[in-house]
Amino acid sequence: MVCIRLRVGIKMLVAVGICFVAIPLVERDLAAQTVAAPAAPRSSAKPTADENQSDTKNAPGGSVKPGGSVKREKAPAFTRVDLDGKGEPRALQTAVARYRISSGDYQGAVIDLIGAVHIGEKAYYEELNERFKGYDVVLYELVANPDDKPRKGRERRGINPVGSLQTGMKDSLKLAFQLEEIDYSPKNFVHADMSPEEFGEDMARRNDGLVSMFARIMGAGFATQGSKKNAEAQADMMAAMLSGDALKMRRAMAKQFDSMDNQMAGLADKEGKSTLLTERNAKAFEVMDRELKTGHRNIGVFYGAGHFPDMHARLLRDFNAESMGIEWLDAWDLRSGAIK
């Protein structure tokens, strides 16, 4: 039984990473496959998420003090499980967190952190495709060469263990894959991530690797295993996996996202940095600074939600930004009868 619980715990932690932080092995595999994509047809589907779900009470509300010092405060949650009136899980949601730069050369610019889950409902990705049309630029994550864009609609099958796990999750949960559904071809899509060479060099400089990073995630996960809430969540996940029921698996996995921040924080080394999170974020913000200098004032940052606590801190600290609130989008349908 202990061995089974250990295996389930490992799968849950890896699954969280796959869903909310783009795994470099998968991306490097993609970079080797993709070519500059031709313009893909626009989705005509209307937004499916409730655009009146803006949740300002959960917004960080950071403010800039005279002299440019930033009020420090804990980042908000960027994922949540929304419950219906009976307390039953309705949807796994991701945030669209809006920030406005309040002073300096970029005063008035609006930055939206658009949380991504790399496996989600097809309608969720259709909603995002429509939203992306409204931005001057959309900065997107992908460890790939800047000119290589995923081709919408191209089905991929993993050729490495991580890719296989991601494909298996998509099939088991009856969901769609982000890189097959998001249209990356529009001109306003701008690559804002490391190249495979930059990623490899940074990993080597830190003497780091996927094994050691996942070991740190595991350590953060095990630190919470003694809690009653975590024990219940693991029991639910075990039962769901044994049942093979896609809805039960969705609900059980969604519960794990409450502790995602602690698990992703486990990626950091003793200096509080990691190639997978903080250093890729630094690269993204270099690109954002460049785009702001060109005059763009309405920017979307489309990254895995696990990157956002660090990005939140960077916006307040380095860009004199203030939070303007959070809107929530439905990524997974968790209602009874959601899966036919």
In this predicted structure, what is the pLDDT of residue 89? 94
For residues 28 and 258, the model is more confident at: 258
Q: Which of 24-28, 59-63, 218-222, 247-251 is modeled with the greatest confidence?
A: 247-251
**Residue 33 burial (CB < 10 Å; 0-12/13-18/19+)?**
middle
Report the distance separating Cα 64 and Cα 101, nearest Å. Answer: 10
**What is the value of pTM for the model shown?**
0.76
Element (H, E) at 250: helix 246-256
Q: How confident is the model at residue 51 (pLDDT cuts 50, 70, 90)?
A: very low
Q: What share of the chain is helix, strand, coil (3-state, %, to 5)?
A: 45, 15, 35
- Helix 246-256 and helix 161-173: axis angle, to 10°? 120
Q: Which of 54-63, 260-269, 274-283, 304-313 is predicted with the least confidence, judged by mean pLDDT?
A: 54-63
Yes or no: say if 325 and 54 are a contact pair by the CB < 8 Å rule: yes
Mean pLDDT value across residues 311-334: 96
Q: State pLDDT tens for residues 241-272.
A: 666 789 988 998 888 776 555 555 556 666 66
The predicted-structure confidence for 159-217, as pLDDT tens digits, reads as follows 445 555 666 788 889 999 998 999 999 999 999 999 999 988 988 887 776 666 666 55
Provide the residue type at 284 as one letter.
A
CA 111 – CA 114 distance, rounded (Å):
9
Instruction: Evaluate whether 139 touches 299 at the Cβ level (below 8 Å).
Output: yes
What is the model's pLDDT at position 213?
A: 61
Give me the percent of the chain exceeding a pLDDT of 70: 59
| Contacts of residue 113, Cβ cutoff 8 Å, sequence gap at least 6 | 78, 95, 96, 97, 99, 301, 303, 308, 311, 312, 315
Is there a contact between 249 and 172 (Cβ–Cβ < 8 Å)? yes
- Cα separation, 136 vs 40, in Å, equals 19
Per-residue pLDDT tens for 105-162?
Answer: 999 999 999 998 889 999 999 999 999 999 999 999 999 988 888 877 655 544 445 5
Please report the pLDDT score of residue 240 as a whole number: 64
Burial (CB count <10 Å: 0-12, 13-18, 19+), residue 331: buried
